[in-house]
Structure 1
């Protein structure tokens, strides 16, 4: 079977080469000069032009942020690897029928324009003024939506946090919710799936060389840009300000005894080897938040099934939203249409604490003001129409602490699970590098 797959891939690449050879000689010579194959990912190719566009985009972003540019060959290598991983995910999404239809894309773009306080036409004009093609922008948004939905389906929806894990977190973190925040930067040296002792030894040797450069006084951001396998490595590995409770457990445990400017020892996880730097630290004067914000919310749930496709379910939710916007009674529509147990109560879910719902639902709910109704929201359970009724601040109780702890653990587990999933997908993807040959 593997021999057959490899033959199929070789034939696909050979076919592309034959097409290039069939072009007149003077045109072919010019085409090779302008574009060429730099990598094969399963049966698809990545061209030099695609890589060059990604490199230029990264350079512009780094310059806006004031970051240091890594050497050209390092930047190109890291961005090629990112393109390979992205292409593998998009292929999986396509092969499993996951796609974003035009209506969903238009709504996403409308929300982006709204967040920038301009109409869609204004957003288009602003992008084109900056030299960004409108069609390319649409393609990039569609790609981001596909990747986000793929992660939700393959990783986030499968994360489970048990009561025992919540008990253990609270018992081992008596200072949880202290309000302490860390600004961290990190370097990840990724280990392959099922790495052998020899591979780990070579990875540790590489980590030791990185650590020697850092202890020798080299700038952390520059070293991260040149060596880190994490997606944010190119921009210096800075992950921004986060409450300690919402950091990966490995990072939180290492950072708690560090001072600003300190480097951690080389840390080991299932993803590989890590080095972190504590850039700064703040907060923690109070014993912790004494109140949590609760949201009184209602929803209508339309589930997909063998007879109701994903697109049809989304269209039904959109039609229900139009009825609500035009004066329809949300509670009555929920009773008649919702597939959730809350339908009998007009979709009323009562008062919701942070962490009570799945991340997709919570993000959409938090973006609404009291009285507002969301656009269609997709979660692992189906498509939702969400209405926020009111919000209030409540004193923290033990149960609310448990809910907050559950939310933190879900985030941590989802991030770790996604790292493992990406590594497994990358290791199972056929990749052939062609820069040297071309």
Structure 2
């Protein structure tokens, strides 16, 4: 049966499988009752056709822009976005009707013929100078054959103006008062220098605090929401990548071979490349040795002759058939070189002298016949040592100037140096020099996974899915197919799944699956996957025993923070800020300069937003209270305040625009979120699309 699975499955499908499965699952009943209702918003139906047309429009737009097929996961994302947009449009339309928002005929006339026409009118009837060609516009309006186009344009203009009115109404209350604007400018551009004394929590050993079971349970009860969990799933899954086979590669090579004779004969290389789907379009440019992929360069520059056809050449996921159109002396020489670097920091005279001495010692060994590659592996202080110092090919402008001058002036095989650069001292040997450049026609075809290979991959996973469903032993069936079973935990609302990615199809499966159920083969952008739902954990709070290990370090940190804060307060009261560090063994005394609105971390303390916020709120000379931060308790003093220059009108206007846009977006998002929460929204897509 295993050997004839495909035949058996097709017989079952043709005979009774599909009907029996659908009837047993109640799918006919559900879809029959739903009719054409893909979803609804407060009873306003979203039809399947409406949704599919909108999705197809977005998929077509993506294809036009990318020039290729839409990957499955991108398609999933587009489908979700389209549904969300349709829902939002329904909610907006409902609100516009409730508020009586409409566009009068006179408004429409003004949008078309007024002093400041709508941007669409300027786009279609522009005069090339930012205005409108009135004659062309009036001719269009007077043409009876343009009625259908005019009605379509009118509907677009009305819809856009209604949306503008609604948007203006929603954001009408957003204002940025002048005083707030200036305060925000000062806050964003103010800088302060500080000095501080801190006691890190980690400086106290764990055995200096005692944590009881009561402490842990109190913390758990007080922070219960931290341990809330959504409904979650444990999944077992196997994947197979969409990797081309040797047969797929051979097919591309055969395609190139079949084009070889025609490619050699053609006089129009540009048209030939375009017609045959070359990934490398035609160009009149000439290429040096260092400007081509390594595999391509080795083949082309071995002995380049005009008219010669070279290939197939493999480079990455491309196979090339190259026609040499012309060869000429290079305008700029390229060289291949290797080096040995003796690193020394700039400004450190002693280190520089030592690096130069080492370089001279190695140079003498090289001149006595030592192998350059071996000496580079022993002595070079950079990443090229593993490959014997090889830097590959390079042309002018790629290296620092002293290195470049030495390399381009050297003879092949000559040991040059020590050459001093900002990195230290180099010994250089040029191994090859290229003094030619070529003009090419590069017929490059990408090695793609064929439909036959994709079908084979799907069949392999389809066997796992079928037999796992029959036997109930997902792991055994996956292992029998030679596949590694992976485990992942997923929350109900989680979009990205580690190892899998985004998949609406998978989320739909999880919504209706029971533990033990196995999914169909799901296609993703770069792989296929089959999933078994192992367990379902209901939403709620994680039990105390499960999170006990997480709570204990938090409680210890709290107790340490209390101890260090108390020590700081007592010392501050007794000795003042200036005597604080001396009175506290183990205290950190340090400065933090140039703190601003953009500052994220504090030197010596790490990420401490409370430190930055407190410092920016103080005046010069002010000392803060004791503050419990993320990593330490600290007291700070502001030693200098750098107030920003008085803002120009342009500065304030730019900031006003930024703040206004941020707040308007916030208001819009809050408004649409509130509408969604109040609305009765149904989504039946899972019954129509798998």
Q: What TM-score bracket applies, with the shorter chain setting the length?
A: 0.3 to 0.5
TM-score by length of 1: 0.39
In terms of Rg, which structure is larger?
2
Relative contact order (C-alpha < 8 Å, sep 6+): which is higher? Answer: 2
TM-score by length of 2: 0.26
